[in-house]
Amino acid sequence: MGTNMSNGVSSITIVIILCCSLLHLVDIQAAPQFNFSDFNPTRDNNLLEFLGNGSAIDQGALQITSDTTNDEFSLRNSYGRIMYKHPFNMWLSDEIQASFNSNFVINIFRKPAWNAGEGLAFLIAPDLSIPDASYGQWLGLTNATNDGNHTNQIVAIEFDTEKQDHDPNGNHIGLDINSVNSTATVLLDIELSPEVGTKYSVWVQYNGTSKVMEVYMVKEGQPKPEKPLLSKTISLKEYVNQKSYFGFAASTGNPQIELNCVLKWSLEIDDLQKKSDLLWLKIGAGVGVPLVTLLILCGVLYLNKRKRRGRGGDEESNVLGTQLRWLPGMPREFKYKDLKKATNNFHESMMLGQGGFGVVYKGILQDKDHKSSTEIAVKKFSRDSIQSKDDFLAELTIIHRLRHKHLVRLVGWCYEKGKLLLLYDFMPNGSLDKHLYEASNQNTLNWSRRYRILAGVASALHYLHNEYDQKVVHRDLKASNILLDSDYNARLGDFGLARALDNERNSYAELGLAGVPGTMGYVAPECFHTGRATPESDVYGFGAVVLEVVCSRSPGISINHHQRPYSLVDWVWMLHREGSIEEAIDEKLGNDYVVDEAKRLLLLGLACSHPIASERPQTQDICQIIAGTMPVPNVPPFKPAFTWPSMVTAFSSTDSSFSNTFSS
Ligand SMILES: *[C@@H]1O[C@H](CO)[C@@H](O)[C@H](O)[C@H]1NC(C)=O
Ligand SMILES: *[C@@H]1O[C@H](CO)[C@@H](O)[C@H](O)[C@H]1NC(C)=O
Ligand SMILES: *[C@@H]1O[C@H](CO)[C@@H](O)[C@H](O)[C@H]1NC(C)=O
Ligand SMILES: *[C@@H]1O[C@H](CO)[C@@H](O)[C@H](O)[C@H]1NC(C)=O
Ligand SMILES: *[C@@H]1O[C@H](CO)[C@@H](O)[C@H](O)[C@H]1NC(C)=O
Ligand SMILES: *[C@@H]1O[C@H](CO)[C@@H](O)[C@H](O)[C@H]1NC(C)=O
């Protein structure tokens, strides 16, 4: 494999131990790195972004520009970039900047008859794009319009083979900041593109503390020289985007042409995300966020049920592993053998539950010094469930960045030999449904706990819908997906079905589960028509949970005292119409509840259950209603009719709605 990634992480340790307000973050993860000792299109194409006209992997190398040697005309005015697809955190502040070290081998090839031109560059860029018409002197870095513009946010080391007006000669290296007019240049004794193809090994190093950028260069096979060719103090934070991509750019001219090849490439860079987590934790502790000694639990990851494509086996799993490791801020990677140990060899006695895609186990991780241990929930996916790694990655890129005190946290992952495991905070009190329905738990949920649970779920939903930088729908809100921590605070789990709204792939139809996911009663009526989950359908699911928690009844169809099938919503709505909504409140609470609060929640539950999606309250209002800072919307006596397509714009209630709702 060309991509033998470092797994430089020792065995078990983990997370956080908060002890007398002393916070230890055990084991900061080693610097991420990758190392391509050659390039292979099947293996590496999905790790890299190919831009411009003609860039590709060919002959075991990155060809940044076109690489035909037979048709010299097609080599003219070519330009391209090849970038590593995952970005890295370049800095957190002026002081904290990532150090990196990249080593690569280049061959700028020309036939003796060719005039070499124009050049190749090692590049740090803010995105995966390339300016138009970046051929000739622009080196795939800039163009006539944007050269020198600070919004380019690029820093590059150029290997220039053609003299332009701004160049000292046609054989130099330079440090380029937003412009091909270099900030610093060094003339070379060696020839970048001699008549006989020559490979050069290059090191580009940046020290985030001293802010010195250095470039070393030597014929391949020789040791790294003591002295850098170029050394320049530059605070990268001034120029590059916080999250930046690494790669190469190159161009040819007319008639100057050359092949711009990169044969090997490795990069190591500080993992600033970890440091930022640490800061965040310290702030958290300082402000008094109740960080308990570590808890955890489980959610479930949704994997698309599409046909597994092509070859499986180690190659694919290594590529997936590589991509996972590179997700910015990705929770730490665990070794399979450590998880095996933590779960007592995935013993039945450690099983917490079983979901659509695998089994959840409780795991106990021993600290390095064996003085303390940490409980986690380990979700072990069954092999068949990992059918599309692209979907899986898409999913994980979203999930792992979600952070909210009412969301179950993903703490780690493991992907070895095709086996995928995800680690979550362990939630000592299990899921909400168990407390509502299991006889042994009947007295655990007093009124104030119930109220707090619903407030927590509402704020988590609000976060998913509005506060996170991508809109996320949960898609499968139900009592069994709401976990309870040691203080009976709600933690929303099972982002298995969460999908960013902007990736257009949130169709119920795709789920391929038995019917629509989620249990009857939680799924909004329009979903059966559109097949799509939306923030409004999440609100519908939330309404069902609200009624469920207040009434301790499952939202699905049940038999009422007239022996007719009613959904919970219909039953509560009927009581509301009859002016006796209080009858819906869980009898087990006796008189130990706050009447106003209970009524407010029931009406909120009904409002969220409006058959017409656009009429349901939004999460912001829901949070305010629960907080008591906003009145509950007016709930009509009869449940409005579900119309499709939706035309009704206001609460309305008609005779037909009555028949619709109440005749089975
Ligand atoms: C990359 O891998 C090659 C061989 O596979 C090895 O010689 C080289 O030292 C590695 N480089 C880094 C930076 O790990
Ligand atoms: C690349 O694009 C430029 C301008 O768009 C064009 O002149 C050139 O022929 C193209 N080269 C190749 C190899 O497609
Ligand atoms: C430079 O690139 C930008 C972005 O691709 C493009 O809008 C602009 O037209 C290009 N300028 C020239 C002179 O081609
Ligand atoms: C730099 O680029 C930005 C965005 O492309 C543009 O709005 C601005 O006018 C440019 N500045 C100059 C000096 O060309
Ligand atoms: C290149 O930049 C230098 C200063 O950074 C400036 O003096 C020179 O005029 C520029 N040359 C061109 C061709 O833009
Ligand atoms: C980076 O620079 C600092 C300060 O000059 C120095 O202490 C440190 O050793 C350097 N790091 C590396 C990896 O050279």
- Looking at ligand 2, which residue's alpha carbon is closest to its atom 9? 77
Are the C-beta atoms of residues 539 and 622 closer than 8 Å to each other?
yes
Biggest alpha carbon distance in the chain? Answer: 96
Measured from the Cα of 103, ligand 1's closest atom is 13
Indicate whether residue 145 lines ligand 4 (CB < 6 A): no
* C-alpha to C-alpha distance for 130 and 245, rounded to whole angstroms: 12
Residues touching ligand 3 (Cβ under 6 Å) are 131-133, 143-146
pLDDT for residue 430: 87
Q: Which of 3, 6, 35, 205 to mutate to test the pocket of ligand 1 (most atoms within 8 A of CB)?
A: 35
pLDDT for residue 525: 80
Instruction: Say if pTM beats, i.e. exceeds, 0.75.
Output: no
Q: Which ligand is nearest to the CA of 201?
A: 1
Q: Are residues 439 and 576 in the same domain?
A: yes
Q: Are residues 281 and 250 in the same domain?
A: no
CATH number of domain containing 405: 3.30.200.20
Antiparallel, parallel or unpaired: β 119-125 and 243-251: antiparallel
Residues in the chain: 664
Helix ranges, 196-308 (H): 272-287
Which of 160, 176, 476, 586 is catalytic? The answer is 476
Cα–Cα–Cα angle for 391, 396, 398, rounded to 5 degrees: 105
Indicate whether residue 35 lines ligand 1 (CB < 6 A): yes
Residue 179: closest CA among 213, 153, 214: 153
Report the chain's terminal Cα–Cα distance, integer Å: 62
Domain end residue (candidates: 426, 454, 482):
426
Q: Which of 166, 178, 182, 234 to mutate to test the pocket of ligand 5 (most atoms within 8 A of CB)?
A: 166
Indicate whether residue 193 lines ligand 2 (CB < 6 A): no
Active-site annotation holds for 476 = yes
The string of pLDDT tens digits covering residues 180-223 is 999 999 999 999 999 888 999 999 999 999 999 999 999 999 99
Segment holding 532, helix H or strand E: none
How would you classify residue 59: left for phi > 0, otherwise alpha for psi between -120 and 50, otherwise beta? left
Q: Supply 134's token pair.
A: 């970046």
pLDDT for residue 240: 96
* C-alpha to C-alpha distance for 347 and 16, rounded to whole angstroms: 26
Overall domain count for the chain: 4
Task: Report the pLDDT averaged over residues 336-364.
Answer: 84
Q: Are residues 484 and 632 in the same domain?
A: yes
- Burial class of residue 288, CB neighbours in 10 A (0-12, 13-18, 19+): exposed
Q: Which ligand is nearest to the CA of 132?
A: 3
Q: Is residue 397 predicted with pLDDT exceeding 80? A: no
For residue 460, give the 3-state DSSP assignment: helix
The string of pLDDT tens digits covering residues 589-629 is 989 999 999 999 999 999 999 999 999 999 999 999 999 99
Task: Report the pLDDT averaged over residues 10-24.
Answer: 24
- Burial class of residue 589, CB neighbours in 10 A (0-12, 13-18, 19+): middle
Distance from residue 131's CA to the centre of ligand 4 (Å): 13
Q: Report if residue 316 sits inside a domain.
A: no
Q: Are residues 12 and 76 in the same domain?
A: no
Domain end residue (candidates: 399, 426, 453):
426
Q: Report if residue 323 sits inside a domain.
A: no
- Looking at ligand 1, which residue's alpha carbon is closest to its atom 3? 37
Q: Is residue 128 predicted with pLDDT exceeding 90? A: yes
Q: Report if residue 480 sits inside a domain.
A: yes
For residue 432, give the 3-state DSSP assignment: helix
Q: Is residue 41 predicted with pLDDT exceeding 80? A: yes
Q: Which of 100, 210, 224, 235 to mutate to test the pocket of ligand 6 (most atoms within 8 A of CB)?
A: 210
Q: Are residues 370 and 394 in the same domain?
A: yes
Query: Which of residues 645 and 455 earns the better pLDDT score?
Result: 455
Q: Are residues 446 and 380 in the same domain?
A: no
Whole-number Cα distances in Å, 539 to 299, 581, 593? 20, 21, 25
- Looking at ligand 1, which residue's alpha carbon is closest to its atom 6? 37
- pLDDT bin (cut points 50, 70, 90) of residue 381 is confident
Q: Are residues 72 and 147 in the same domain?
A: yes
pLDDT for residue 180: 96
* C-alpha to C-alpha distance for 589 and 586, rounded to whole angstroms: 6
Q: Report if residue 317 sits inside a domain.
A: no
Domain end residue (candidates: 368, 396, 426):
426
Task: Report the pLDDT averaged over residues 234-251.
Answer: 96
How would you classify residue 479: left for phi > 0, otherwise alpha for psi between -120 and 50, otherwise beta? alpha
For residue 165, give the 3-state DSSP assignment: coil
Task: Report the pLDDT averaged over residues 330-336.
Answer: 78
Range scoring the smallest mean pLDDT among 68-77, 445-454, 465-474, 485-494? 465-474
Q: Report if residue 297 sits inside a domain.
A: yes
Residues touching ligand 6 (Cβ under 6 Å) are 207, 209-210
Other CB atoms within a 10 A radius of the CB of residue 327 amount to: 18
Distance from residue 212's CA to the centre of ligand 6 (Å): 9
Q: Show the beta-strand stretches assigned E in 538-595.
A: 557-559, 565-567
Are the C-beta atoms of residues 396 and 328 closer than 8 Å to each other?
no
pLDDT for residue 386: 53
Residues touching ligand 5 (Cβ under 6 Å) are 165-166, 181
Q: Is residue 294 predicted with pLDDT exceeding 50? A: no
pLDDT for residue 560: 52
Whole-number Cα distances in Å, 439 to 434, 442, 556? 9, 5, 20
Measured from the Cα of 164, ligand 5's closest atom is 13
Q: Report if residue 469 sits inside a domain.
A: yes
Q: Which of 129, 142, 145, 180 to mutate to test the pocket of ligand 3 (most atoms within 8 A of CB)?
A: 145
Q: Supply 512's token pair.
A: 């391929």
Q: Are residues 409 and 455 in the same domain?
A: no
pLDDT for residue 286: 36
State the average pLDDT for the chain. 77
- pLDDT bin (cut points 50, 70, 90) of residue 146 is very high
The string of pLDDT tens digits covering residues 512-521 is 333 334 456 7
Whole-number Cα distances in Å, 331 to 230, 325, 326, 414, 460? 37, 9, 10, 10, 20
Q: Report if residue 315 sits inside a domain.
A: no
274 among the known binding-site residues?
A: no
- Looking at ligand 5, which residue's alpha carbon is closest to its atom 7? 166
How would you classify residue 284: left for phi > 0, otherwise alpha for psi between -120 and 50, otherwise beta? alpha
Helix ranges, 207-260 (H): none
- Looking at ligand 2, which residue's alpha carbon is closest to its atom 5? 133
Residue 62: closest CA among 131, 2, 130: 2
Q: Are residues 164 and 256 in the same domain?
A: yes
Distance from residue 117's CA to the centre of ligand 3 (Å): 21
* C-alpha to C-alpha distance for 90 and 86, rounded to whole angstroms: 13
Q: Are residues 211 and 290 in the same domain?
A: no
The range of the structural domain enclosing residue 295 comes to 1-26+275-310
**Phi, psi for residue 325 in degrees, rounded to 5:** -60, -25
Torsion sign over Cα 37, 274, 429, 500: negative
Are the C-beta atoms of residues 19 and 96 closer than 8 Å to each other?
no
Range scoring the smallest mean pLDDT among 299-303, 316-320, 334-338, 608-612? 299-303
Are the C-beta atoms of residues 648 and 657 closer than 8 Å to each other?
no
CATH number of domain containing 545: 1.10.510.10
For residue 548, give the 3-state DSSP assignment: helix
pLDDT for residue 203: 97
Distance from residue 192's CA to the centre of ligand 3 (Å): 29
Query: Which of residues 9 and 562 earns the better pLDDT score?
Result: 562
Task: Report the pLDDT averaged over residues 361-371.
Answer: 81
Q: Are residues 631 and 519 in the same domain?
A: yes
Q: Report if residue 405 sits inside a domain.
A: yes
Residue 617: closest CA among 543, 514, 526, 562: 543
Torsion sign over Cα 330, 336, 342, 344: positive
Q: Which ligand is nearest to the CA of 34?
A: 1
CATH number of domain containing 137: 2.60.120.200
Indicate whether residue 209 lines ligand 4 (CB < 6 A): no
Q: Are residues 467 and 418 in the same domain?
A: no
Indicate whether residue 135 lines ligand 2 (CB < 6 A): yes
- pLDDT bin (cut points 50, 70, 90) of residue 543 is very high
Q: Which ligand is nearest to the CA of 203?
A: 1
Distance from residue 65's CA to the centre of ligand 3 (Å): 19
